[in-house]
């Protein structure tokens, strides 16, 4: 795992830990409309919760990490 300048995960096979947030599509659009994060792309992931349950989630990933 690698952390980018915005504490953003860069895609690498493996496991990561984080938080799940419930947002509307409008809230997501507003959040990712800022030019500094507009290159991030949503990717579906299966999030496994601490209690063992799992749920689908969107994870926003920077396809090409900045140099």
Q: Is this prediction's pTM over 0.95?
A: no
Give pLDDT tens digits along the chain (67 positions): 454 556 556 566 777 777 888 889 999 898 888 888 888 888 898 988 889 999 999 988 877 765 6
DSSP designation for 38: T
Q: Can you give the residue ranges of every domain in the chain?
A: 2-61
Residue 44 near residue 60 (C-beta atoms within 8 A): no
Helix or strand or coil: residue 30?
helix
């Amino acid at each position: 795992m690698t952390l980018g300048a915005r504490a953003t995960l860069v895609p690498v096979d493996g496991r990561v830990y984080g938080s799940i947030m419930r947002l509307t599509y409008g809230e997501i659009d507003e959040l990712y409309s800022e030019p500094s994060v507009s290159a991030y792309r949503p990717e579906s992931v299966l999030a496994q919760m601490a209690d063992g349950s799992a749920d689908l989630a969107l994870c926003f990933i920077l396809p090409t990490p900045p140099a």
